[in-house]
Structure 1
């Protein structure tokens, strides 16, 4: 029976990260993407203190590790003291009990060696078990889905209560990279946050856009409301892969017309970009800020000298 390659397929109803990479490097890029996203996720959580459970797990791991090593140190110190006492006894009773002390040394050495070996084995097992447990939790939070396209990967995020949004993680990532210019990946190119996914039809896209419209483009009514919530300028960032049955202009118009009329299209200097990526029969939608300023969300472009 043939074994299916790749992971679960990309489908509507998920959120996460749309990522481009070098063709033929999808597997390596997927593993690297999970590591990179996880590291920036942890930075963001630590900075905002929004996930005390994760911090408690980290403290517990450090505490256990420190305790075990400190116990080993204490045990070794105790062994040294016992050895010193035995040496002093040897000196005081050298003429009377020399043979008995020698036999005692022969008995204690195997016991000491056996005790040390069993203790180190126990420590290694505990550390390996805890690291494996933390690794499993990381994989559950971020998992790869098979896009079915060359040079494209998708990392799904399974959010829990209090977790930051994919947009917040990507925004933090590129803001940090813009200031440090640090190389964090070998295979990743563009990383875009995806908040909703649906099938590639105009009606489905309009329906999927509703929560994003309420979140980023609220309708402004009246002059007083307009002063409180200034209308924003936006542009649609569209691309399609492995799908020739849809028209570019129809999808862009469907997205743009979903935004209330008070918010205007501005291709030159938009405040927000609406990301629309078509991958086969799935449409991925998200919203990003400072798109051009942050190197078009391309890691290699942003960190290159």
Structure 2
């Protein structure tokens, strides 16, 4: 192989690899974090289909930008210099990033993809999807696990997070607004944040915004989602987090376990006890029979003894009667 061919392959051989810096999750972006199980490519395809379907339903069809181009007749009439300038302007315009509704980005963690959103509210979209799946129980994906909206991002350092959240959380928790809440925190590829310290600092902040805000880990009205990936902190506040199984697309399809009626359960438990009280056990029956047997045998013995006593008295009297004539 010639040196020229080697240089050519070395220089241009990596064109198929994605340059992560141009399509990676960054501070300032909004979108949706989607987790999957070992198949990111298929997960991305499913995510685009699912999001596009429900986005059109909720927000209407996506508007396509028209770059515009002159007709052949107009191009013939223009001189070469004007046509050249126009073509350069069109190339610059088309080179700029198009404001597409959904864009797949590198999240910075395995089995997690980030779909950047433009001109829509990702929290409303995800809630709408999960609400429909919860109602219809219709399976629409195989590899997607959780869908977490990201309505705010900041640097993943505790001071930066508290500073950002001070303003961000006002819409939900600042007086006169108040709610029961919980904090769902997870860090990936990041070791400089301690979970307990982050949760404590956020809880203190929510308490300062309104003392009426209360923590509820069972069935909160709102859940503050904090997802840290490398140096980016993704944040959102969502409803129905427990009801929609932590925003898990697969789990939300399962039927909820029906809780038994308390009154019926009480009646069912009381009934056997009443039956047990009404009906004596076999042991009690046997015991009763034994006692009755003992009582009968005792009565028989008493009768027998009384008869023996009478007999002995009669014998004694007869002997006395026989003895008296001889004495005379």
Shift of 1:303: 1.9
Alpha-carbon offset, residue 27 of structure 1: 1.9
Find the counterpart in structure 1 of residue 31 from structure 2. Answer: 16
Structure 1 residues 97-112: aligned runs within 5 Å: none
| Residues 256 and 179 of structure 1: CA distance in aligned 2, closer, same or farther (over 3 Å) | same
Unaligned runs of 5+ in 2: 1-10, 65-96, 256-328
In structure 1, what is the Cα distance between the partners aligned to 2:239 and 2:19? 32
Instruction: Determine the structure 2 residue equivalent to 1:251.
Output: 198
Give the corresponding residue for 1:45.
59
Kept in 2, the 8 Å contact 1:44–1:169? The answer is yes
Q: 1:292 to 1:38 in 2, by over 3 A?
A: same
1:181 to 137, 140, 146: 137
> Any residues of structure 2 matched to 1:141-156 within 5 Å, and which?
141-156=101-116
Counterparts of 2:128 and 2:157, CA distance in 1: 32
* TM-score under structure 2 length normalisation: 0.58
Q: What is the alpha-carbon distance in structure 2 between the residues aligned to residue 257 and residue 12 of structure 1?
A: 24
Contact 2:27 2:154 in 1 (8 A): yes
Moved over 3 A (4+): 54-57
Please tell me whether the aligned partners of residues 62 and 101 of structure 2 are also in contact (alpha carbons under 8 angstroms). Answer: no
- Taking structure 1 as reference, are residues 142 and 177 closer, same or farther at Cα in structure 2, changes over 3 Å only? same
Query: Does residue 1:271 correspond to 2:221, yes or no?
Result: yes
Superposed CA RMSD in Å reads: 2.2
Q: Structure 1: state its 5+ residue gaps.
A: 47-53, 58-135, 221-228
Q: Which secondary structure state, in structure 1, belongs to the residue aligned with residue 149 of structure 2? A: strand
Secondary structure of residue in 1 paired with 2:116:
strand
Alpha-carbon shift at residue 300 of structure 1 (Å): 0.9
The offset of 1:211, in angstroms, is 4.0
User: Any conservation in 1 of the 2:189–2:229 contact (CA below 8 Å)?
Assistant: yes
The DSSP-based 3-state class of the residue aligned with 1:235 is strand
Cα offsets for 1:212-263 (capped at 9, x unmatched) = 312111223xxxxxxxx5x311000011111122111121122222212321
TM-score, length of structure 1 as denominator length: 0.62
Asked if structure 2 preserves the Cα contact closer than 8 Å seen for 1:213 and 1:258, the reply is no
Structure 1 equivalent of residue 175 of structure 2: 219
Give the SS at the match of 2:49: helix
Native 8 Å contact 1:149 1:241 kept in 2: yes
Look up the match of 1:168.
124
Rg larger in structure? 2
Counterpart CA distance in 1 for 2:226 and 2:63 is 38
Which of the residues 275, 290, 300 maps onto 2:240?
290
Tell me the secondary structure at the aligned position of residue 39 of structure 1.
helix
Residues 172 and 179, structure 2, Cα contact 8 Å, conserved in 1: no
CA contact under 8 A between 1:191 and 1:297: conserved in structure 2?
yes
- C-alpha change, 1:300 and 1:203, in structure 2 (3 Å) is same
